Structure 1
Amino acid sequence: MKLTTILRRGFVITVATVCVSSILTGNVLAADVLAQAKANKTLRVANTQSSPPWSMLDDKNQPAGYDVAVAKEVGKRIGIPNVVFVADSFKNFVEGLKASKYDLVMNDLTPTVEREKQVDFGDPYGVEEFRIFVRNENSDIHSRADLKGKRVGVTTGSSNESWSREHLKDSDIRSYDNGGLVFNDLGSGRIDAVIISHFGGMKYANVNHLPVKEVGEPLIYQLSAPAMVKGQPALRTAVNKAIAEMVADGTLEALSKKWVGVDFDMLGTIAKAKEQKE
């Protein structure tokens, strides 16, 4: 009888030990992405590599663009100069972070309420103006009000999709896996309009020589910030410090002028985005 009691107590102690060990291990893992990246001497950053001027492939088939350049600079400043870029789509970014496929997402990703329930964001380093694109011969669509009853294309998992579904209730919203596909359908007349960033839309139109144009005023400004799995205070602090230094020493503005355009006021437009109500 005593032996049974001892065994039961031993079993309870063993279970308690295992549980405590698991909890401690889980806490270490949850707080150690930065340390692990430094140990591996590699920072894994996800982007689409198909959303210019933020991320794309250059003529040597290597990742390039504003977000890529900012990510490389962040890597240097946090002590991990070897930055490896992982291609993925907007719809996979959140789950990819949670599955530890990469350490950060830096690809024109907007910190929305829904995303912030699942992942954490650092400070913004970019901003977009979202606009309406239509075919050149279209004379019916001039503004947001004209999209009622129209077929509107958006990119799956992007903030332009979530904004459109929330604010364009009377439109037929159609989602596509990437911007190239949505613009192909706009060019062929399968949809009436596309909502996408000004820079992304102009790039797709120019590169593919599509008969499309931009109409109306910006629908909304949307910030972009680095995303990371929840529970990473060390990583978040390090990334935010790097971004703050890049703002202060002019690096962010210089990268913006190189990749986004010499006439685009990146820091000023970020300030406008922070002030907007919608």
Structure 2
Amino acid sequence: MKLHHFIPTCLVAALLGSAAAAVSAQNIPADILASARASGVIRIANTQSSPPWSLIDDKLQPAGYDVEVAKEVARRIGVAKVVFVADSFKNFVEGLKAGKYDMVMNDLTPSPEREKQVDFAAPYGVEDFRIFVLASNASIKDKPDLKGKKVGVTTGTTNESWARANLKESDIRAYDNGGFVFNDLGNGRIDAVISSHFGGMKYANVNKLPIKEVGPVLIYQLSAPAMPKGQQPLKDAVSKAIGDMTRDGTIDKLARRWVGADFDMVGDIQRALQQP
């Protein structure tokens, strides 16, 4: 009679987890900045479906505020070419940890949970988040009116986490694509959407949706480049580039082009940094 070795399930899971982590680590250069400078290419993820931050233009190329900031940051850190990788918000953190791309620059907000898993450089953007409803809706005017209502958010975004934390008595519906959530608002499948002023108004104008924003600003949310943990040279170089772009007017110039002629990007970043 042969005796079979018994390996506890928990040990098997631990071994598999260690193997997966090792594979992910192998996909990430020890020094992303040095590797990108040597190859002349850096891979930066965005959704390509969240205007005005990232979108596909009429030439079928990535465009938008975050895209233009990313290109200028790459130039200033000594990398000639950016390869933009399309992905969804919910995948960004895991994508970085798995080495699918070197950075994320797409309206991604530093949060305590995210900062446990990835690093962030200096912020280069900010958004004010509001409530959007149908233009004909007269009953929802502010946050308390969302009690018992179906509220749409984009999966994996900080407006989803904010809504789940602050709208406990609402029915939160998460969508992988920001466009779909506004389509469902326009079709009456949900009662409201939590979104940025710029994102919401862009969808309303481009798709001619009968929606409006109501109530005061719910929260300001910063956006900053995200990268795998332990990439200090990359983090320092990107933060310096963004600081220089802030001081020399590049950030404001790109914001006026893509976000709005009267938008005070640098001023709002400072206000967001000072909010409780």
Shared fold, TM over 0.5: yes
Q: Which residue of 2 aligns with 1:16?
A: none
Q: Which residue of 2 aligns with 1:7?
A: none
Match of 1:53, SS state, is coil
Distance in 2 of aligned mates of 1:204 and 1:249: 31
- Per-residue deviation, residues 232-264 of structure 1 (Å, max 9, x unmatched): 000001100100110111111111111111111
Distance in 1 of aligned mates of 2:118 and 2:57: 30
Letter in structure 1 aligned against 2:235: R
Distance in 1 of aligned mates of 2:131 and 2:30: 42
Deviation at 1:166, TM superposition (A): 0.6
1:85 aligns with 2:84: yes
Letter in structure 2 aligned against 1:175: A
Q: Which residue of 1 aligns with 2:164?
A: 165
1:252 aligns with 2:251: yes
Deviation at 1:145, TM superposition (A): 1.1
Deviation at 1:74, TM superposition (A): 0.3
Mark the structure with the bigger radius of gyration.
1
Deviation at 1:37, TM superposition (A): 1.3
Q: Which residue of 2 aligns with 1:211?
A: 210
Letter in structure 2 aligned against 1:146: D
1:101 aligns with 2:100: yes
Distance in 1 of aligned mates of 2:111 and 2:204: 27
* Count of aligned residue pairs for this structure pair: 252
Deviation at 1:81, TM superposition (A): 2.1
Off by >4 Å, runs of 4+ in structure 1: none
Letter in structure 1 aligned against 2:226: A
Query: What is the RMSD of the two structures over their aligned residues, measured on CA atoms?
Result: 1.3
Deviation at 1:184, TM superposition (A): 0.9
Describe how 1:53-92 pairs up with structure 2 within 5 A: 53-92=52-91
1:129 aligns with 2:125: no
Distance in 2 of aligned mates of 1:250 and 1:161: 32
Describe how 1:107-186 pairs up with structure 2 within 5 A: 107-186=106-185
Deviation at 1:30, TM superposition (A): 6.0
Deviation at 1:36, TM superposition (A): 1.3
Match of 1:214, SS state, is strand
Deviation at 1:120, TM superposition (A): 0.4
Q: Which residue of 1 aligns with 2:13?
A: none
Distance in 2 of aligned mates of 1:138 and 1:223: 30
Distance in 2 of aligned mates of 1:215 and 1:39: 50
- Per-residue deviation, residues 1-38 of structure 1 (Å, max 9, x unmatched): xxxxxxxxxxxxxxxxxxxxxx9xx79x6641111111
Q: Which has the higher helix share?
A: 1
- Per-residue deviation, residues 45-80 of structure 1 (Å, max 9, x unmatched): 000000000000111010000000000000000000
Match of 1:236, SS state, is helix
CA contact (8 A) 1:123 1:243 kept: yes
Structure 2 regions of 5+ residues with no counterpart? 1-21
Distance in 2 of aligned mates of 1:223 and 1:177: 21
Distance in 1 of aligned mates of 2:257 and 2:202: 15
